[in-house]
Every structure is written in structure tokens, then in C-alpha cells.
Amino acid sequence: MMKTHVPVERLFNQFNEIAMILQEELSCTYLEALAETVEDIFHHKILQEELSDFTKKRVMKILEENSLDFFTKEQIRKAYQLAILKGMKEYVQPNHQMTPDSIGMFVSFLIEKFINEQNEWTIMDPACGSGNLLATILNQLQGKQLEAYGLDIDDLLIKLAFLGANLLEQTVQFYNQDSLEPMFVNPVDVTVCDLPVGYYPNDERAKDYEVSVEEGHTYAHHLFIEQSIKHTKQGGYLFFLIPNGLFESEQAPKLHELLKKYVHIQSVIQLPISMFKNKHNAKSILILQKKAPSIQAPKQVLLANLPSLKNKEAMEKIIIQIDAWIKENKK
């Protein structure tokens, strides 16, 4: 479990204590109970009528111990994240691993660097899961005027994302849908996505995509890239967390063709292997810019290997490298 500061731990304990009570009383999963918990905290009253008076008093007593008014948005997000992480241990969804805080914050830094001239823009995460990556970005970029969208096929995770946005007072429109089906979101300025890695089972739907393969299942992460490009404005940016072997698979040639046709590759930043329990699950950040008549390709792609985020001196060198590249290529 990640290290916590005292306020985060105190708020997590409140989430956790109420969730465990509701889990037992309502005979549901921890994540379902957490969703009920957040509803109670947000409305500051007990919404579960089926609870006994004794249980209602127990929950209300815990609610009254900590008001959200005494916590920062980051403290609230981190406490909520910890509770979701606990619930994820019993909620087995291989394509819905929560994006770590450190990665979310670094992606936020990159977004601000690449589109620093804009103060108003739209952002979308087409596979938002419980919403932690999007929430991290919105928290980090509070000075910007952002219109945000989150989509996910999992109804419980999208509910948790919605409830988290309410807690953080973030304005986000959420859609519970398969994002590889037609989307009802207008093209956005920025797309960000921790890509779900694996095969997409709907072969008929996959045939509508340029990256689809003739035999067998198409990679879902390839389809998500194509769909995201389609729903990003000309000149807009896409920030993907990709598997390190993305361009080495047997389906990679079609992906290469797609990228060459529609976008300029801006950067590939490999994340530290030490961040991942298994080196085969290691990821990189892929930054793309959708082509437009006024947009030129960078003179060279920004390639970097990110050091340990705890290595302050090495991180400062990477930031200097990124700043120099942007000054040279994003005039």
C-alpha cells in the first residue's frame, strides 16, 4: 500500500469503516459498499433505508467525525484511491488496473508542457475505469478551464468515477459504454488513456476499424488508439500509457500505417521498470499530435527513459531535456 500522510489515512479510515459496515449489512462487495459509502458522505445522510436504526446511528457517528471541508482535493482523491485499491483486490478485472499517482502526475506535467498556450480545453479518457487518472489530471491542472469526459464499459467502475468526481467537485460527464462502439462525445483537445491491453472479442465491430486483422481477434489497445484519434480535434494531443512492446507485435504493421496517416509522433517516454511488479507489464508514455494543415512534424521524436521518480537529480535532467525539446520543436 502506498505511503499516506495523516489526513489521508484518517479519511481513508472513514471510507473503509463505513464501507465494511455496509458490506456486511447489505451483503455486497466492498466496492459496491464503497459506492454506497461515498453517496452517504456526499449527501451527509444515510441513504440505505434497509439498515437498522442501530447501524444508521453507527454510520452517522463515523460520518460526523470527519467533514470533507477539512481536507484538500488531493487528500480526498488519495484516500478514495486507497479504498478503491483495497476493493480491487477482490474485484478481478485484468484490464482495469488503477493508474498509479506518480504516473498520473507526470502525465499532468506533460499535458501542461505540450499545450501551455491554452487555458480552456476539452479532455477525454475513453477507458477511465474508476477515474483516478482523470481525477489526478484535473486536480493538478486546477488553474485551467477544463471540460472533461470519462467513458468505461464497467458500470460499477464508472459509478465510482462519477462519485469520486462529486467528492472532488470536478465537472465531468461520464458515459457507461463500450468506447469502441459509436461515441457521443464531440472531438476533444486532449485524449488521455491508460490503454486496456488485450484482445477485443467483438470481431464484427472491429471490422469497422483500419487496424482490424483479417483473422482472429484484433488488439483492443490498437482499436482504442484509432478510436481516440478519431475523437480528437485536428492539432489535438493524445497521451497514452502503452505496453513497451506495442510496436513489436504481429499486428503492429497496421498500427504503424494508422499513425503515419493521421498523427505526428511527438514522444515516447519509457517508464522505470522498477514501477512494475513484472517487467513484462512495463509501460511507456506515447504522445501523439493529430495532423492538421498548420501542424508540422517535430524535427525529431522526443525519446527518453524516465529514471526513478525518487531520483531528484536525474528527474531534473529529464525535465531540462523535455523543456529543450519543446522549445526547439513546439515554437
Residue 310: the pLDDT is: 82
Helix%, strand%, coil% for the chain, nearest 5: 45, 20, 35
Residue 137 falls inside a structural domain: yes
The last residue of a domain, from among 59, 88, 117? 88
Query: Can you tell me the distance from the alpha carbon of 39 to that of 113, in angstroms, rounded to the nearest whole number?
Result: 36
- Whether 283 and 259 have beta carbons less than 8 Å apart is answered as no
Do 46 and 75 fall into the same domain? yes
Torsion sign (Cα): 212, 217, 222, 226 = positive
Do 30 and 55 fall into the same domain? yes
Alpha-helical (H) ranges within the chain are: 6-26, 30-43, 53-65, 73-88, 101-114, 132-140, 155-167, 203-206, 220-230, 252-262, 312-329
How does pLDDT run along the chain (331 residues), one tens digit per residue? 444 568 999 999 999 999 999 999 999 999 999 999 999 998 888 999 999 999 999 999 998 887 888 899 999 999 999 999 999 887 655 555 678 888 999 999 999 999 877 778 999 999 999 999 999 999 999 878 899 999 999 999 999 999 999 999 999 999 999 999 999 999 999 999 999 999 999 999 999 999 999 999 999 999 999 999 999 999 999 999 999 999 999 999 999 999 999 999 999 999 998 888 777 888 999 999 999 998 999 999 999 999 887 888 999 999 999 999 999 887 6
Grid coordinates in use for 267?
A: 514522444
Residue 1 falls inside a structural domain: no
Residue 249 falls inside a structural domain: yes
Residue 69 falls inside a structural domain: yes
How many C-beta neighbours within 10 Å does residue 67 have? 10
CATH number for the domain including 147? 3.40.50.150
The pair phi, psi for residue 54, each rounded to 5°, is -60, -45
Residue 253 falls inside a structural domain: yes
Domain count, the chain: 2
Length of the chain equals 331
Residue 239 falls inside a structural domain: yes
Tell me the residue range of the domain where 133 lies: 101-329
Angle CA 121–309–267, to nearest 5: 50
Tell me the whole-structure pTM to 2 decimals: 0.92
Alpha-helical (H) ranges within 115-219 are: 132-140, 155-167, 203-206
Do 51 and 124 fall into the same domain? no
